[in-house]
Amino acid sequence: MKAMMIHKLTDLAVNSKPLVPADLPVPVPGPGEILLRVHACGVCHTELDEIEGRTPPPVLPVIPGHQVIGVVEARGQGSELYNIGDRLGVAWIYASCGHCEYCLSGRENLCPGFRATGRDVNGGYAEFMVAGEKFAYPIPEIFSDEEAAPLLCAGAIGYRSIRLTGFKIPTGNDVDIVHEGYPETLGLTGFGASAHLVLKMVSYIWPMTRVYVFARSDRERSFALQLGAVWAGNSGDPPPEKMDAIIDTTPAWKPIVDAMKNLKSGGRLVINAIRKESQDKESLLLLDYPAHLWMEKEMKSVANVTSRDVSEFLALASKIPIRPEIQVYDLAEANTALYELKQGKIRGAKVLKIG
C-alpha cells in the first residue's frame, strides 16, 4: 500500500516536506479488529504538533491521520460488529484500557492507557488501516467521504467543547426544541476547522444564541460572519457584550487572557487545544484577578474525545445536516496540505482523498 510517514521530528518552517512516501505491506487485522480500505482522511493541526514534537509519537516511523473514512476490507478473529463493505470512520480515540475508573464511567478520553490514532499507532494517511471495531463508527449516508472526514475530529472535539460549556445540548427528537437555559452569548476564539463546525452546530441547536468570533485574519473574520456570527474581531478587540461561555481553539496563551476578561460573571472558558506555545507564557503574567478570575469565572480544558462524543455528533451532524467547508488533496499532496495549514492558509478543513 501507499502511505505517507513521519520518520523524524522537524520544524515545518525549515522543512516543508516532513512526510516521507512509503510502499508498505497491507496490515493484517488481529482479534477484534477490522481492516479498512481508506477513502479519505482529514488533515489536522495535531499532525503539525506530532511532526514538530509538541505531542510526539512514542515510536517512529508512524503513519499520521486520525479523521479516517473507509470501508471494511477484512475482519480479524471474533470481529462481528460490522460486515465487509460497511463504511466506517475512525477518530482520534484508537483505544483505551476498558477497565479503569475513567473507562467504566464513560470518560475513556482520560484513561491512562488512552491511545491516539496516527500518533500512538498507524493512522489514515495510507491506503489501508487497521482499527479496533469498538472504536469505529458508521458514517451517515448523507455525507460524502470527504465531507465526513473532518467530522471525526474537528466536529467531534467541537461537540465535546460545547458539552463542556455546561449548557444542555438537545438530542434525538428534542433537537428541534429551543430549551430554556441556552446561552444568550457564546464566544469562539480562533476560527479554523473545529470552530467553523461549532458555529454551524450552535446556529442549529441554539438559534437564539449570539455568537462572537475572535480571529487573527480578515479572511477568518469574514468567513465567520458569512456563517452567522453577529460580530467578528481580533482577540484583543472589545466585543459589544460579555459572554456566557467562550471556546478557545488557538495554540497561544494571550487569547486565554483576553477571553477570561470577556466572560460574564460565572462564565466558563473551554480550551479546545492540545498545547499552547511555550514562548507565549509571559502572557499569563498579564492575568489580573479582578478582571480575569473574580466573580466565579471558570477555565476548563478539553482532553481527547470519547466514543459518545463521536457517535452523538455524527447523529446530530446528519440531522442538521452539517456540511463542512473542505479543500481536497491527493495523498501524495499531504505535505502541501500540512505546509499550508502551518502558514494559516485555511478555510474550513483540509482532506486527503485516498484510493
State the Cα angle at 262 between 181 and 211, rounded to 5°.
Answer: 50
Cell of 146: 470527504
Domains in the chain, CATH or no CATH each: 2-153+305-353 (3.90.180.10), 158-301 (3.40.50.720)
Contact status, residue 255 vs residue 248, Cβ threshold 8 Å: yes
Q: How confident is the model at residue 277 (pLDDT cuts 50, 70, 90)?
A: confident
What's the pLDDT score for residue 82? Answer: 97
Q: Measuring CA to CA, how many Å separate 337 from each of 18, 49, 329?
A: 11, 15, 7
Q: Is residue 123 pLDDT above 70, yes or no?
A: yes
> Would the pTM count as exceeding 0.85?
yes
What's the pLDDT score for residue 268? Answer: 95
By three-state DSSP, how is residue 260 classified?
helix
Q: What share of the chain is helix, strand, coil (3-state, %, to 5)?
A: 30, 25, 45
Q: What is the mean pLDDT of residues 112-138?
A: 97
Contact status, residue 348 vs residue 121, Cβ threshold 8 Å: no
Q: How confident is the model at residue 154 (pLDDT cuts 50, 70, 90)?
A: confident
Report the percentage of the chain scoring pLDDT > 70.
94
Strand 210-214, strand 231-233: pairing: parallel
Residue 250 or residue 143, greater confidence: 143
Q: Is residue 280 pLDDT above 90, yes or no?
A: no
What's the pLDDT score for residue 294? Answer: 79
Q: How confident is the model at residue 146 (pLDDT cuts 50, 70, 90)?
A: very high
Cell of 119: 500518533
What's the pLDDT score for residue 288? Answer: 79
Q: How many CB atoms lie within 10 A of CB 262?
A: 22
What's the pLDDT score for residue 318? Answer: 92
Q: What is the mean pLDDT of residues 304-326?
A: 90
**pLDDT tens track for 155-191:** 899 999 999 998 887 665 555 555 556 789 999 998 8
Q: What is the mean pLDDT of residues 80-109?
A: 96
* Cα–Cα distance for residue pair 34/5, rounded to 1 Å: 21
**pLDDT tens track for 48-83:** 999 999 899 999 999 999 999 999 999 999 999 999
Q: Is residue 344 pLDDT above 90, yes or no?
A: no
Residue 280 or residue 260, greater confidence: 260
Q: How many CB atoms lie within 10 A of CB 201?
A: 20
Q: How confident is the model at residue 13 (pLDDT cuts 50, 70, 90)?
A: confident
Q: Is residue 275 pLDDT above 90, yes or no?
A: no
What's the pLDDT score for residue 192? Answer: 80
Report the percentage of the chain scoring pLDDT > 90.
69
What's the pLDDT score for residue 292? Answer: 82
Q: Is residue 215 pLDDT above 80, yes or no?
A: yes
Query: Residue 31: CB partners within 8 Å, gap ≥ 6?
Result: 76, 77, 78, 79
Query: Residue 115: CB partners within 8 Å, gap ≥ 6?
Result: 94, 95, 96, 121
What's the pLDDT score for residue 232? Answer: 96
